[in-house]
Structure 1
Amino acid sequence: MGYVLEKEGMNQVLSNLSENYLIYAPKLYVGGGRLSDTDCVRYGEVNRIDEIVFDRKSEFSFKEVLTPITQTLFYYTEDTVKEADGPKKGAVIFLRSCDLHAVKRLDDMYLSNGPVDSYYERIREKVKFVLMGCSSAYDNCFCVDMGTNISENYDMSIDCSDNNYRVDCKSVEFKSLLKANAIREEEVSPAYVKETSTHVHIPENLSAEVATSSIWREYDSRCIGCGRCNFVCPTCTCFTMQDLFYTDNGKVGERRRVWASCMVDGYTEVAGGGCYRQKYGDRMRFKVLHKVLDYKERNGYHMCVGCGRCDDICPEYISFSTCINKLESAMEEVSSNES
């Protein structure tokens, strides 16, 4: 059974939830855009339902809640090491279906890809997810083709219509709170995208041999290696380590992990001066094939969830979806070269 709430009721729900949770959702940052005098929608802490932006796609993903851009792992002195404290409160995250599918990819990488990452785990186990229904696709979305337009793995879902909020609830913890503030109960199913204007086709015969195709050379000159595509992507998980030494005592400090990008200079530098994938096209090849080839070979589904943020953010107008659609001709090229 679902619930219909007015704005006042939803605000009361959020107020009660804020006692135990920090609430994160897409919100408008006036003047916070990439260009002068422009706004942007990105994730931030909210207290009221009218702060949440329902009718625009967030330019950045939710992942900085689960994997902070900069995260202190531990503090050290000359004699001791102390692990950084975990979050005192849980988190409630409002996100769309593609991003909810991205959570599964993050869980794979941090919880199942080798030893469990305890820093991720202690945040993740305190998080509840609210699915924001999508009645239509946004620019550059291709979630339908990636199979991420529908999700059932939510604690609550919410759709905004006619100044009311229609909520489906799967969390026992939240049901009594919603019922107490609802104007009525009725069956609710979250809206989902049925068609997108952007389409992708991943070849059935796609293999690692496509790495030898000439298509990657196009990006040697087009890409500038800024890494924006990685930073907005909800499934990119790479980070680097930084040691911070305090000025008062050079033997005291903290170790942090910080987001990193396979597209930027220095990412593949190794001891002895070696540096791999120096050409931008080689970095593009690595990223693309990780998203739609080798990850699926290991996990059974693609890493890319079709949110389209990489296409939205690229200053050089490089389209990831277009690159995916070039893979079929790239495989034909490779096959003809071998024959």
Structure 2
Amino acid sequence: MSYALSFSEANSIFNALQKEYEIWAPKRFIGKGRYSDTDIIRYDKVGCVEEIEFNGKSDFPAKEVLTPVSESLFYFTEDAFMESRETSKKLLIFMRPCDVHAKYHQEKIYLENGGFEDSYYKRMNERVKIVLMECKEGWDTCFCVSMGTNKTDDYAAAVRAEQNTLCLEIKDSELLPYFEGCASCDFKPEFIEKNDLTLEVPEINDREVLAKLKVHPMWKEFDKRCVSCGACTLACSTCTCFTTTDVIYNENTNVGERKRTSASCQISGFTDMAGGMSFRPTAGDRMRYKVLHKFHDYKARFKDYHMCVGCGRCISRCPEFISITATVNKMAQAIDEIQAETKAQEVR
């Protein structure tokens, strides 16, 4: 069923929904951007339609709801520990198609990774209902069509905002009672069919080619360009790296809490081990790891899709204007060089 609602009608439904649901959506924070007099769009709880940012892409992904940048896992004393409380409400999260696809990758890592389930992610994920935000045009850094993440039918509801009207398609039977008596319409979400930015990911099916690619000189470019700030991975909708820290409350080191905080494979020291061992000491090494993980390793492991969903947030957030699409295109050229060199050697 599809409905057309005025903002005031929608806000009345929001008020009713909030008795059972937390409503999360992209929200614009005025003047809170990284440059003076700029805004930032990120996920937050919303109480009315007017708070939702429909016209701009969020600077940070929907994963912030399920895996916050920092979250308490459990509290401990000398004799016992207690897990942090979970929300008592269900979660209604407004997402664009790329973030819906990113959620699948998050589930692979947190729930299907070698038989291990992350209980903290699972307890949140089980409460989620998705409200799909229609995305017909995209933005200049998007390449979701190339990654096959521009469309989805996995949602409880879909929404389109038009001036002072919301058009909604309701698929979840649990949500239908909230819309009784509302005016019906024939709305179905439409999807972007072509991005300005395109990408063709090279497939690496030869171990020898992969080994040579890892030592290709193209990665050394990033020793000078990348500042290892980690902004790209924090804004990435599929990255899952984190670290844990014990926060001690007072002089008694046996009382405190354990927190999980987002981390980044792009930051120097991420792979440091006892004894001074570091597996990826240079920015180029770290960039190689990230790119191959997104565009080869993940798919090779799980046998389905590449990890990147083409949201383009990493491009938007990079202070050095490093483009992931340009990097993958360079990688494709490097693979062609390696394969051509191998053939030439075979002819000799």
Q: Same fold (TM over 0.5)?
A: yes
Query: Bigger shift: 217-226 or 37-46?
Result: 37-46
Within the candidate set 279, 293, 309, 1:290 is matched to: 293
Contact 1:60 1:232 in 2 (8 A): yes
C-alpha distance in 2 between matches for 1:23 and 1:129: 10
The answer to whether the aligner puts 1:228 opposite 2:195 as a matched pair is: no
Deviation digits for residues 104-146 of structure 1, max 9, x if unmatched?
1111110111311101001111111100001201121000000
Query: Bigger shift: 313-322 or 270-279?
Result: 270-279
One-letter amino acid of the counterpart of residue 100, structure 1: V
Shift of the alpha carbon at 1:179? 3.1
Aligned to 2:157: 156
C-alpha distance in 2 between matches for 1:295 and 1:280: 21
One-letter amino acid of the counterpart of residue 20, structure 1: E
TM-score (ref. length: structure 1): 0.96
C-alpha distance in 1 between matches for 2:338 and 2:257: 49
Contact 1:212 1:334 in 2 (8 A): no
Query: Bigger shift: 1-10 or 235-244?
Result: 1-10
Number of equivalent positions: 337
- Three-state SS of the structure 2 residue aligned to 1:276 is coil
Within the candidate set 326, 332, 336, 1:328 is matched to: 332
C-alpha distance in 1 between matches for 2:234 and 2:205: 26
C-alpha distance in 1 between matches for 2:227 and 2:205: 27
Aligned to 2:249: 246
The answer to whether the aligner puts 1:261 opposite 2:244 as a matched pair is: no
Aligned to 2:13: 13
Shift of the alpha carbon at 1:31? 0.8
Aligned to 2:86: 86
Contact 2:203 2:296 in 1 (8 A): no
Shift of the alpha carbon at 1:162? 4.8
Deviation digits for residues 165-215 of structure 1, max 9, x if unmatched?
1111111110121233x2x22332112111110011112346533222221
Q: CA RMSD in A?
A: 1.3
C-alpha distance in 2 between matches for 1:88 and 1:266: 38
The answer to whether the aligner puts 1:304 opposite 2:308 as a matched pair is: yes
C-alpha distance in 1 between matches for 2:22 and 2:139: 27
One-letter amino acid of the counterpart of residue 170, structure 1: K
Q: Which runs of 5+ in 2 are unaligned?
A: none
Q: Which runs of 5+ in 1 are unaligned?
A: none
Identity of aligned residues (%): 43
Q: Any residues of structure 2 matched to 1:32-71 within 5 Å, and which?
A: 32-71=32-71
CA gap of 1:11–1:77, structure 2 versus 1, over 3 A, is same
Deviation digits for residues 60-113 of structure 1, max 9, x if unmatched?
111111001111111111111222222222221111000111111111110111
- Three-state SS of the structure 1 residue aligned to 2:85 is coil
Aligned to 2:136: 135
One-letter amino acid of the counterpart of residue 257, structure 2: E
Runs in 1 of length 4+ with deviation above 6 angstroms?
A: none
C-alpha distance in 1 between matches for 2:215 and 2:97: 35
TM-score (ref. length: structure 2): 0.94
Contact 1:28 1:40 in 2 (8 A): yes
